[in-house]
Amino acid sequence: MPTPGRADGLRAGAAVAALPVPAGGPLGGYGGASDRRATGVLDPPQARALVLGSGALRVGLVTLDVVIVRPSLREAILAGTRDLGLGGLVVVATHTHSGPGGYVEGWQLTEAGERLARLYHECDLLVSESLGAGLLDGLDPAAVAALASTFTYEARGPAGTGPAPWFPSGQVRERWAAIETCAAELRRAEDDAGLPATRPPDAGFVALAHAWAAGQELAHVIAGDEISGGDFVRNVKQLIDLLRQLGDLAAVAETATACRAAADRVFRGVVSASSVIATDEAAIEEALGEDIALQPEPEAG
């Protein structure tokens, strides 16, 4: 029931409502959990609302026990509160992974919810939103590998000290800009909810991922780049894992095919060899062998 209150001219009203979770309903959870189903409710998820008013101004805050507030959910809440005369409304999520989350409709997982539930990655929401927005559609395998690397690569050292971004085409550059916009929107939602920020995407591996997926030789790919052979191999392996997941998740058949093809293209040479014979830095560097063109020492002046 709404609970009105008043103090020093400030009016307040609050309400709490339980969000039903039907038995057997799909749960979000983390990657690989698409088969998780609700068997009961320990702590019912809730929707909590607070309205504050002073004079003619009224503002509202809605907190939902969901993973994320998707635009469609926010628009539905706005439509249902238009008659309240609110001067502002903030809708935030608690980011729980133990319920269907904001990727639901009628308390069933939407297509986006199913995709998120099957994705295992530290930037799962950003990857899922980017894939759903079609930012990997209509690209060849090398371009897909390049863009997917922005989710897996993280430059060592302070921000801005990694390789300078390079893009193989204007289209890929535009898609990168769209991914950055998506990341900024997600970051704002996380800030509003007081949640830890998702690691931002990083375009520092785009050139290397594209060149390697395009079939260029390793010596050419890493020549002049401040990255060790071991770091290159590890980054490519992380990229392969994500590309294979994207190949299973993409709703567009051509995109799924391009993702799987990209994974196959980068799993070659020293990357595939190191998967069998090497796991540590020294062993990987040894496995690189003659594939790496050693730069000559500068002559003494």
CA distance 187 to 148: 19
| Percent of the chain's residues with pLDDT above 90 | 35
Out of 112, 139, 169, a domain closes at 112
Residue 299 placed within a domain = no
Task: Tell me the residue type at 279.
Answer: T
pLDDT at residue 298 tops 80: no
Please check whether residues 188 and 65 belong to one and the same domain: no
CA distance 221 to 199: 26
CA distance 158 to 160: 6
| CATH assignment of the domain containing 226 | 1.10.3380.30
Could you report the per-residue pLDDT of 10-67, keeping only the tens digit for each? 889 899 988 776 666 656 555 444 456 667 778 888 889 999 998 888 999 998 887 6
pLDDT at residue 8 tops 70: no
CA distance 72 to 78: 10
| pLDDT grade for 222, boundaries at 50, 70 and 90 | confident
pLDDT at residue 174 tops 90: yes
pLDDT at residue 104 tops 60: no
Q: Mean pLDDT throughout 67-82?
A: 74
Global pTM value: 0.61
Please check whether residues 149 and 255 belong to one and the same domain: yes
> For residue 279, what pLDDT is reported?
46
The answer to whether 198 and 156 have CB atoms below 8 angstroms apart is no
Please check whether residues 108 and 124 belong to one and the same domain: no
Please check whether residues 23 and 92 belong to one and the same domain: yes
Out of 62, 84, 112, a domain closes at 112
**Residue 58 structural domain:** 3-112
Residue 238 placed within a domain = yes
Q: Mean pLDDT throughout 140-147?
A: 97
Length of the chain, in residues: 301
Please check whether residues 173 and 281 belong to one and the same domain: yes
Residue 298 placed within a domain = no
By DSSP bridging, strand 108-109 and strand 88-93 are unpaired
Q: How many domains does the chain have?
A: 2
Please check whether residues 124 and 169 belong to one and the same domain: yes
